[in-house]
Amino acid sequence: MDELPTYTAFHGSQHLITGVLRDVLTLLKTQAESLSTDPPVLMFEDQTGRQVDFNLRGTLSEVLEREAPLPAAPAKAGPGRPKLGIVSREISLLPRHWEWLEQQRGGASATLRRLVDEARKQSPGRERIQQAQTATDRFLGVMAGNLPHFEAASRALYARDQAAFTEHLSLWPDDIRAHALSLAAPVFADPAADSTPPN
């Protein structure tokens, strides 16, 4: 089973909590009155680094039910295929690509899923590195864009230069620096893994 995604909340440069969504929302809701709106509380999804917002209006129970509902109990197994959690999105391909896909076993969608899974298995290290670089860069863009050496730190992140990255963060607030280093840890964990710089 996949692990639940984790989220991190900051109040200005102060780290408030990192945890699963229900734990983060519970803390923010119960401490809402003591947290000033200036600076605002900012939340990030750790796996992607994206800033996220949640509606905290209502009681704690209402917030959790609306924003982080517990998964429903699995239905009793019966005939037919189980739900796969498939998300539909539009993609654009040339006619020759569609023709090739439609000739493959299982049709176009199944073939694309299979190709993606095979590609992910071939270079799991590179994928982890690129995911960590992107997540760290997004977090830094929001929390450290005005801090000294921000651009140099970003370059060091994508160059996988751990010593330079750590040095450029040395003057930053403790909590921002610590979280940035945590997000970036996979980038420097395997020096032999390949990484492709951004375009």
Q: How far apart are CA 195 and CA 92, in angstroms?
A: 27
> Domain check: are 129 and 107 in the same one?
no
Longest dimension (CA), the chain: 61
How much is the pLDDT for 2? 56
Q: For every one of its 199 residues, what pLDDT tens digit does the chain have, with 9 covering 90 and above?
A: 457 899 999 999 999 999 999 999 999 999 988 887 889 999 999 999 999 999 999 999 999 999 999 887 655 555 545 555 566 777 777 677 777 877 788 777 777 877 766 655 655 688 999 999 999 999 999 999 999 999 999 999 999 999 999 999 999 999 999 999 999 999 998 666 655 554 4
Please tell me whether residues 33 and 62 are part of one structural domain.
yes
Which tokens belong to 143?
């929390």
Residue tagged 């119960």 (tokens)? 30
pLDDT at 90: 75
106 and 158 both lie in a single domain: no
- Domain extent at residue 106: 90-122
**Confidence at residue 92, expressed as pLDDT on a 0 to 100 scale:** 76
Does residue 41 share a domain with residue 11?
yes
- Decide if 75 is inside a domain: no
The residue assigned the tokens 């509902």 is 69
What's the confidence (pLDDT) of residue 182?
A: 97
Exposed/middle/buried for 60, CB within 10 Å: 0-12, 13-18, 19+? middle
Number of domains present in the structure of the chain? 3
pLDDT (0 to 100) of residue 130: 95
Q: What Cα–Cα distance (Å) separates residue 129 from each residue in 136, 160, 187?
A: 10, 9, 5
Residues 6+ apart with CB under 8 A from 28: 9, 16, 17, 35, 41, 43, 56
Name the residue with tokens 């073939």: 111
Tell me, yes or no, whether 199 lies in a domain.
no
